[in-house]
Structure 1
Amino acid sequence: MGHQLNMAQIITSAGPDPVTITAETVGKTIAGATFKGQGNDLVVDTSSFYRPTKAGAYPIVLVTYEIVCSKYPDAPTGAAVKAFMQATIGDGQIGLDEYGYIPLPSSFQSKLIPVVNAIA
């Protein structure tokens, strides 16, 4: 990680080898998450984080949530929220690992892009 901290290697139910925290191992964890909800009303089901089934997935991960509406009563607010979320899941991912954060895997981003683009 960016700050050269010592991190625990974790042995998980997915395999016998210890897993070190890296962008790749956390990316595997995030990519294994599923969504609850229908349409654009999504909630990340993080239960797979703590009992990974994919070897090499790091099991101690926290998720940051952004709760937004699909439609706002005034267009400027909707446009601002949409722009913020587009930046967050787009260019805002660049360089996160330098600050101890893990960028979203592309498979996860592809699930979020149409939802964010539908904000009005």
Structure 2
Amino acid sequence: MEPSKKPPSQSDNANSGGSSSQCEDDILNLHVDPGDDRSACITLYREDHTIGNFLRYTLAKNPNVEYAGYDIPHPLNEVMQLRIQNFPDSPETAFETFEESLETMHKTVTYMSEIFNKQAEAFEKGIK
């Protein structure tokens, strides 16, 4: 799928009774069950197991998360469905937990990039 093309609409969310919102860039669709902001289904477009497993792992490390999992329903569709459920006494909503996990992932990738670049420079200089 070309980045300029929009993914198919998620008509099943509109019929399920929950609230649904989609980002302007059409990369993410959020579905929250009515009356329960501690759980959410997030559909990510143009993502695969690389991000899915990293997200699931990061979410699972959060002490507020009771369940985190993802599914890629079909390998030919560039759609990943992420399910987050926080504990009932959690101070965070599921979407806040998702945002926190994205920040943690960003910090992790930034750190890994810095380490990699330092090692690449040292290798180019012949210092190990």
TM range (shorter): under 0.3
TM-score (norm 1): 0.25
Higher relative contact order (CA 8 A, sep 6+): 1
Richer in strand (by share)? 2
